[in-house]
Amino acid sequence: KTVCKVVDSNVNSQINYTQAVDILNAGEVVAFPTETVYGLGAVATNDLAVKKIFEAKGRPSDNPLIVHVGTKEEVEIYIEHISEVAKQCMDLFWPGPLTLVMPAKPNVLAKSVTAGLSTVGIRMPDHPVALALLQQLKKPLAAPSANRSGKPSPTEAVHVLDDLGGYIPYILDGGSTGIGFESTVLDVTHEPPVILRPGGITKEMLEAKIGPVIQPNKVEQKLDTTPKAPGMKYTHYAPNAPVYLIDCQLEKVREAVKQLQHEGHAVALLAPANFENSEADFYFSIGEMGSKQEMGAALYNALRACDKTTATIILATTTSTEGVGAAIMNRLEKASGGKWYSSK
């Protein structure tokens, strides 16, 4: 087992960045915060190092990684052709939670980063710790979310430690991530561009700047036997107990809780702040009613918290798919496997 060191990115920080850079340059992996979720990084040009990410996460090797850069300028080193739309997106939304899928230059990045695809997803994260690390390393970092494959992505260093403590040597602790769910993945090799994974940069935000964007709906994604973002075909973000979705209505939730308890269940409820009197055995607030931002920031933490309870079933209230609601509902659909609570 690997001994894992967790260091504060704010206190005595320079020595910690130097250590992180040394570990990465030695071909090892380091977890670090971004504005979305914690990432597990390895130098993206070192194939042996990148393979350690897949090992630590238990990640299927056909699921490509996102490459993180510290500057916009270096993208041309890794990309065959940067389209006009891609340039616009970089100018308007970087640093930020937008991953751009572009044609990779052959033999520059490590083979396992792209999992055999001819394209690569790149983003410049909007987080002081991630940016400081990248800028001191002066190399790109391949980094998926720093969770064991299938678990909710980590929004705090302790989540990374819980999942990967025995597998990785170093975690830079930058506190809670702000957004709380993963970046938008936008395939700009298509015209119009296609949202492969909804995230913090919404369809609405993109369309206001670059014109029409395709956001495939669930049905299309299910019919598509070879999903475009390979990661989207795997079970994701799932706690141990089964998750059921339910409309965000207090009376409905109260009845469901009562019914499930009657059936012998211990019920965990993920719902807005005003649901605390719903009599659930375990209750996790996902922020003020109607605030998608608070819901997004709290969701993964709440899903993980369920694993620390004796709940046998989890009810999660839903939101509309407007704005970041599309990303939140996408993650909830995955966590629940699309199951909705019904009293029958």
| Residues forming the site for ligand TXA (CB under 6 A) | 34, 36-37, 39, 63-66, 97, 99, 101, 114, 117, 119-121, 125, 143-145, 182-183, 185, 196-197, 228-232
What ranges in 46-156 are assigned the alpha helix state H? 47-57, 75-78, 84-93, 111-114, 128-137
Shorter beta-carbon distance to ligand TXA: residue 179 or 271: 179
Closest approach of Cβ 66 to Mg ion, in Å?
A: 9
Cβ burial, residue 86 (10 Å; 0-12/13-18/19+)? buried
Minimum CB separation of residue 341 from ligand TXA in Å reads: 27
CB of 235 to ligand TXA, least distance (A): 13
Q: Which residue has the tokens 């709940």?
A: 311
Interacting partner of 154 out of Mg ion, ligand TXA, none (Cβ under 5 to 8 A depending on kind): none
Partner from Mg ion, ligand TXA, none contacting 185, C-beta within 5 to 8 A by type: ligand TXA
Compute the CA torsion angle 224, 226, 229, 231 (nearest 10 deg). 110
**Closest by alpha carbon to 303, among 196, 187, 180?**
180
**Among 145, 202, 278, 318, interactor with Mg ion by CB under 5 A:** 145
Q: Which is nearer to ligand TXA, 174 or 231 (CB)?
A: 231
Does 330 sit near Mg ion (CB under 5 A)? no
Is 51 or 209 the residue whose CB approaches Mg ion more closely? Answer: 51
* Nearest residue to the partner ligand TXA, using Cβ: 231
Which residue, 311, 61, 16, 304, is CA-closest to 160? 304
Out of Mg ion, ligand TXA, none, what residue 330 binds, judged by CB under 5 to 8 A for its kind, is none
Look at residue 341 and give its three-state secondary structure.
coil
Rounded to a whole number of angstroms, the minimum distance from the CB of residue 327 to ligand TXA is 10
Q: Judged by CB, which is closer to ligand TXA: 158, or 289?
A: 158
Picking from 139, 146, 195, the residue whose alpha carbon sits closest to that of residue 23 is 139
Name which of 97 and 272 has its Cβ closer to ligand TXA: 97
DSSP 8-state secondary structure symbol assigned to residue 65? P
* CB closer to ligand TXA out of 139 and 197: 197
Residue 37 binding target from Mg ion, ligand TXA, none, CB below 5 to 8 Å by type = ligand TXA
Dihedral of CA 168/172/173/179: which sign?
negative
Cα dihedral across residues 141, 181, 114, 212: positive or negative: negative
Backbone φ and ψ of 305, nearest 5°:
-60, -30
Give 247-258 as a DSSP string. -S-HHHHHHHHH
Nearer to Mg ion, 100 or 313 (CB): 100
Select the binding partner of residue 36 from Mg ion, ligand TXA, none (C-beta < 5 to 8 A, by kind): ligand TXA
